[in-house]
Structure 1
Amino acid sequence: MTQSVAHSHTHSHAHGHSHGHAHSHGPAAPHPAQPAPWSILRMPVTTRLGAALAASAGLWLIVWLAMR
């Protein structure tokens, strides 16, 4: 009695852990640096100065409200 083992089937199933990028480093190595979507160092000086003044004003407002 002989059986035919010439059957083929595919297992197409999704795993629930897609990363969105290919890993190109070893398991013990840290992830490579990713490009930042924005950097404060690439902002114009006037924009940086305005952001610093706005942050300072916001912090002084908190101090003023706390002292009130």
Structure 2
Amino acid sequence: MAHAHDHGHSHAGLHAVSEDPGWSLLRLSAWSRVGLAGIVVALLWIATLAVIV
């Protein structure tokens, strides 16, 4: 007997869109994300100081 409450959950649709998804934060390691966040924070500080001075 088939499941009567089937919504057609197909995970194939999630992967069909992108053959080569390109660059993604999700593929970076934890330390790479921390380093990237540090660079962003440093750039924000530099921009803030440039506006103040």
TM-score class, shorter-chain normalisation, is 0.5 to 0.7
Asked whether 1:36 is paired with 2:28, we answer no
> Which consecutive unaligned segments of at least 5 residues does structure 2 have?
1-15
When Rg is computed on C-alpha atoms for both structures, the one with the higher figure is 1
User: Deviating runs (4+, > 3 A) in structure 1?
Assistant: none
**Gaps (5+ residues) in structure 1?**
1-31
Q: What amino acid is aligned across from residue 57 of structure 1 in structure 2?
A: A
In the comparison of the two structures, how many residue pairs are matched? 37
TM-score in terms of structure 2 length: 0.61
Query: Quick one: percent identity of the two aligned structures?
Result: 27
More helix by share: 2
